[in-house]
Amino acid sequence: MAVSLFSLVLLLLLLVRLEELDDSLDELQKNKSSINDPNHVQPQILNYDIFPLYDSAPNAMGILVSSYISIPRHYVLLEKIKVIASDLGKSRFHRQIDVLRIENRAGNQIAIINLEDASWANRKWEQAFQGSAGGSITTGILLRSFLQKEYDGDWIDGVEFYLNGEPFVDGDRTALGGVKFRTELN
Instruction: Among 3-17, 79-93, 133-147, name the one with the lowest average pLDDT.
Output: 3-17
Instruction: Among 13-17, 38-42, 55-59, 81-85, name the one with the lowest average pLDDT.
Output: 38-42
pTM: 0.72
Alpha helices in 33-168 (DSSP H): 77-87, 125-128, 134-147
Alpha helices in the chain (DSSP H): 5-32, 77-87, 125-128, 134-147
Residues 6+ apart with CB under 8 A from 87: 53, 69
pLDDT at 179 over 90: yes
pLDDT at 76 over 70: yes
The share of the chain scoring above pLDDT 70, in percent, equals: 70
Instruction: Among 18-22, 50-54, 85-89, name the one with the lowest average pLDDT.
Output: 18-22
Instruction: Among 19-28, 69-78, 137-146, name the one with the lowest average pLDDT.
Output: 19-28
| SS3 state of residue 40 | coil
CA-CA-CA-CA torsion sign (54, 92, 183, 101): positive
Q: Which residues pair with 115 in a beta bridge?
A: 97, 163
| SS3 state of residue 50 | strand
Mean pLDDT, the chain, integer: 81
